[in-house]
Amino acid sequence: MLGPMEGIALNSNVSKNGSSWGQLLWHILHDKPELVLRKGAMLFSSGEVAAASYGFGITSQELKAIKEAMDSSNHRETIHIQGVTYCVKVTTPNTLLAWNGGKYLIVCRSKQLYLVAHCASRSKKDDARKWLTRFASKLVEQNY
């Protein structure tokens, strides 16, 4: 799915097939171990889960809160994900960075998908957000 020479290259045959999304999520979380991305999920904007790490899930209400936080006209100071309150630090139309004191929640949006990941390192949070943003851009190129 990912070519080592391209950095990030999506297989043009990526579809709604769960195993393909699961492989892509695995690459997002493991290709750059120095980014300390521990858990993640890929969700369609409808709320349907494309792929998720074991024990990591986002409800439709939580996704709604993420969408609202990313909407600049409806800025939220906090969001609640899996019973944890996060302080929203940065929002753009396509990204969100939130913090709960122990880990960072990073969300990037493509046309149809939300990429969500936990980063366990304060010093790596910006690099991790850039990494997820690059993946989201590649998904947009594939019309996802």
pLDDT (tens digit, 9 = 90+) per residue, 21-58?
Answer: 999 999 899 999 999 999 999 999 999 999 999 988 89
Q: Is residue 78 part of a domain?
A: yes
Could you tell me the pTM of the whole model? 0.85
Q: Is residue 57 part of a domain?
A: yes
Query: What SS3 state is found at 81?
Result: strand
Closest CA to 16 of 41, 50, 63: 50
Token pair of 102, please? 């122990």
Q: Output Rg (C-alpha) for the chain, integer angstroms.
A: 14
Q: Is residue 102 part of a domain?
A: yes
Q: Is residue 74 part of a domain?
A: yes
The CATH number for 112's domain is 3.30.450.30
What is the tally of structural domains in the chain? Answer: 1
Q: Is residue 38 part of a domain?
A: yes
Q: Is residue 3 part of a domain?
A: no
Q: Is residue 135 part of a domain?
A: yes
* Distance between CA atoms of residues 91 and 75, nearest Å: 8
Predicted pLDDT at 71:
82
Q: Environment class of residue 42 by beta-carbon count within 10 Å: exposed (0-12), middle (13-18) or buried (19+)?
A: buried
Tell me the residue range of the domain where 36 lies. 18-141
pLDDT of the chain along its 144 residues, tens only? 333 323 444 443 444 445 789 999 998 999 999 999 999 999 999 999 999 999 888 999 999 999 988 886 777 899 999 999 999 999 888 999 999 998 999 999 999 999 999 999 999 999 999 999 999 999 999 999
* Distance between CA atoms of residues 120 and 102, nearest Å: 7
Predicted pLDDT at 76:
82
